[in-house]
Structures are given as structure tokens and as C-alpha cells.
Structure 1
Amino acid sequence: MNSASNLSTLADKLRNDIRSLVIMAALIGGLILWFAATGSTDRVIYRGVDQAWAEPGRVYLKTEPSGHYMIERNADFAAMKVGCVYDLSYDVQFGRHQRANRLKTVRKASLVGC
């Protein structure tokens, strides 16, 4: 009888451990999805278009501090004024060996002040 109660206790413990692992995996997955959906934001001073890089439908931005930002030719880009401060929201990339100088694709440019 003692071994039967030990097996029952062991089964309950295993069930609780599995439940905890599933909850932890769901929370980590939700956090990753949240970061992927919201992206990341940098506050920069817009210094104009980088003429050295040309690509149809896209513009490379010169900013201070220097960053590697690319934006689609859209209403956000058309409204940008040289010398103004912007919050640039861009896509986040996950994984190892991410370079600090990687190209950042801007989703949205929000004016902070001029």
C-alpha cells in the first residue's frame, strides 16, 4: 500500500511540474511575441537623407546619434523635417551575433520636438 501512495504522490508532483513548465513556456512565448509586435524605439535628431545609398521606394536616414535607419517613402517620411527630434520605431531582430550597426527598418517616425 505504501508504494501505491508513493506512486500517486509522484504522479501529482509530475503533473504539477509539467503544468508549471507549460505556463512558463507560454509566458516566455508571449513576451517574445510582444517584443516582436511592438519593436524597439530610438530617439534621434533627423539630419536628412543619406544620398550615398539609393534604393527604389526606400530612403536611408542620416541621424544623430548615427544609426543605420531605412524608411519607406510614405506619409511619415514626407512629414519629417531636418533638425527635428523623432522617436523611430523599428523592427526587432532576435538571435545571437546581432551587430550594433545593423540596418534598422523604421515602422513609424513620431515627432518629439523641433
Structure 2
Amino acid sequence: MNNASNISNLADRLRDDVRSLGIMAALIGGLILWFATVGSTDRVTYRGVDQAWAEPGRIYLNTEPPGHYVIERNADFAAMKVGCTYDLSYDVKFGRNQRGNRLKTIRRVNLVGC
């Protein structure tokens, strides 16, 4: 009788542990998905196009502070004015060795002020 109750208690604890691990994995996965969907945002002052880089269809921005930003040639880029401050939302990259000088591909541009 005692062995049966010990096995039952052990099974209940194992079931609770597995449920907790499943919930934790779902929360971590949701957090990673949220960061991948939302991206990250930096507030910068736009100083013009970086003339040192040239690539068809893509523009490298000269900003203060510098940040290695790349934007597609689209309506957002056409609306940007030199000297204005913008919030630049860009893709987040996960993994090791992600240095601060990597290219940041801009998804959205929001004007903060001129």
C-alpha cells in the first residue's frame, strides 16, 4: 500500500514538473516571437544619405549617433528630412557575436520632431 502511494505521489510531481516546463517553454518562445515581430527601436537624428555606400534599391543612412542603418528606397525614405529626429524600428538578430556595428535593416520610420 505504501509503495503504491509513493508511486502515485511521484507521478503527480512529475506531471506538475512537466506542466511547469511546458509553460516556461511557451513563455520563452512567446518572448522570442514578440522580439522578432516588434523588432527594436533607436531614436536618431537623420543627417542624410551615407555616400560611402552604394547598393541598388537600398540606402545607407548617416545618423547621429551613428548606427549602420539600411532602408529600402520607399515612401518612408522619401518622406525623411535632414536634421529631423526619427524613431527607427529595425529587425532584431539573435545569436552570438552580434556586434554593435552590424547593419540594421529599418522596418518603420516615425517622425519625432524637426
Q: TM-score range, shorter-chain basis?
A: over 0.9
Question: Identity of aligned pairs, percent?
Answer: 81
What is the distance in 1 between the residues matched to 2:110 and 2:88?
Answer: 7
Unaligned stretches of 5+ residues in structure 1: none
Task: Indicate the residue corresponding to 1:21 in structure 2.
Answer: 21
Partners of 1:102 and 1:47 in 2: CA distance: 19
Give the aligned residue type for 1:60.
Y
* Helix, strand or coil at the partner of 1:51: coil
TM-score by length of 2: 0.99
Local SS of the residue matching 2:101: coil
How far residue 97 of structure 1 moved from its aligned partner, in angstroms, is 1.1
Partner of 2:56: 56
Aligned to 1:102: 102
SS of residue paired to 2:81 = coil
The residue aligned with 2:72 is 72
Correspondence for 1:4:
4
Matched residues in 1 for 2:20 and 2:63: separation? 46
* Structure 1 CA distance for aligned equivalents of residues 11 and 67 of structure 2: 55
Q: CA deviation at 1:113?
A: 0.2
Once the two structures are TM-superposed, the CA of residue 31 in structure 1 deviates from its matched residue by 0.4
In structure 2, distance between residues paired with 1:81 and 1:100: 25
Aligned to 1:93: 93
Which residue identity is paired with 1:84? C
CA RMSD of aligned residues (A): 0.4
How many residues matched? 114
TM-score (norm 1): 0.99
Kindly report structure 1 stretches of 4+ aligned residues shifted beyond 4 Å: none
Q: Counterparts of 1:13 and 1:97 in 2: how far apart (Å)?
A: 39
Q: Amino acid of the residue matched to residue 90 of structure 2? A: Y
